[in-house]
């Protein structure tokens, strides 16, 4: 589905990614974890065409897409739930959801079934929603692009516990349906319910990969790379 090889990227003279590798197979749920500032969001931006890498490869279904514009990446089947949500504040919930929707198995009725609260608030301006409701909205918006790979950057950051549980339950349901997902988050306990493989990133490089069970059995890794 997605293979990142030797990716290098940064901002101006500041290099962030030095030799980033990442692989995701069809139907997998994979995490990218690490301390703040280690390159997780930069990796996502480089994959999604929001930042142009200086070297390396981004292969989607075996096709080289490094440096392609973001709309081409979306057309290739990647859907992004960005850090910070970024809904269209002046549009209603329904208008936000339909703004980038494409035809496929995910339609408005189905995302309302997944997130009933959005149907209750479909006529409200998105800026009037709570943070948790906005996160539901942008997850639903990404699903309505009918992606082959759903990417969530900081999936539950800053959300109340009850909303975090809603998001993790949503991801568990998507996994059960065979969706392919890349998730960035700090909640290892919740991620262990849905993630098949963790990838730890340190200073712009992948330094460890393994299952949640393997990570739980190696506390020295958490102490060294995750600061917990």
Average confidence score pLDDT of the chain: 93
Q: What are phi and psi of 113, to 5 degrees?
A: -65, -35
CATH of domain 1-77+185-228: 3.40.50.300
Are 208 and 200 within 8 A, CB to CB? yes
pLDDT for position 228:
53
What are the tens digits of pLDDT across the range 191-227?
999 999 999 999 999 999 999 999 999 989 988 898 7
pTM of the model: 0.93
pLDDT digit string, tens, across residues 38-69: 999 999 999 999 999 999 999 999 999 998 99
Q: Where are the domains of the chain?
A: 1-77+185-228
**160-183 pLDDT per residue, tens:** 899 999 999 999 999 999 999 999
Rg (CA), the chain: 17
């Amino acid at each position: 589905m997605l293979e990142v090889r030797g990716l290098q990227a940064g901002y101006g003279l500041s290099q962030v990614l030095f030799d980033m590798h990442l692989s995701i197979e069809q139907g997998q749920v994979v995490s990218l974890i690490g301390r703040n500032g280690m390159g997780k969001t930069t990796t996502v931006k480089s994959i999604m065409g929001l930042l142009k890498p200086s070297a390396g490869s981004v292969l989607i279904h075996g096709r080289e897409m490094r440096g392609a514009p973001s709309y081409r990446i979306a057309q290739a089947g990647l859907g992004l739930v960005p850090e910070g949500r970024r809904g269209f504040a002046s549009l209603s919930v329904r208008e936000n959801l339909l703004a980038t929707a494409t035809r496929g198995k995910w339609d408005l009725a189905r995302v309302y079934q997944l997130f009933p609260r959005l149907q209750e608030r479909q006529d409200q301006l998105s800026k009037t929603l709570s943070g948790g409701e906005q996160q539901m909205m942008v997850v639903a918006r990404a699903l309505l692009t009918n992606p082959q790979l759903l990417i969530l950057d900081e999936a539950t950051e800053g959300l109340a516990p009850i909303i975090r549980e809603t998001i993790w339950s949503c991801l568990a349901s998507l996994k059960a349906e065979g969706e392919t997902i890349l998730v960035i988050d700090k909640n290892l306990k919740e991620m262990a319910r849905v993630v098949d493989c963790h990838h730890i990133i340190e200073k712009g490089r992948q330094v460890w990969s393994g299952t949640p069970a393997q990570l739980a059995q190696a506390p020295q890794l958490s102490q060294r790379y995750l600061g917990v």
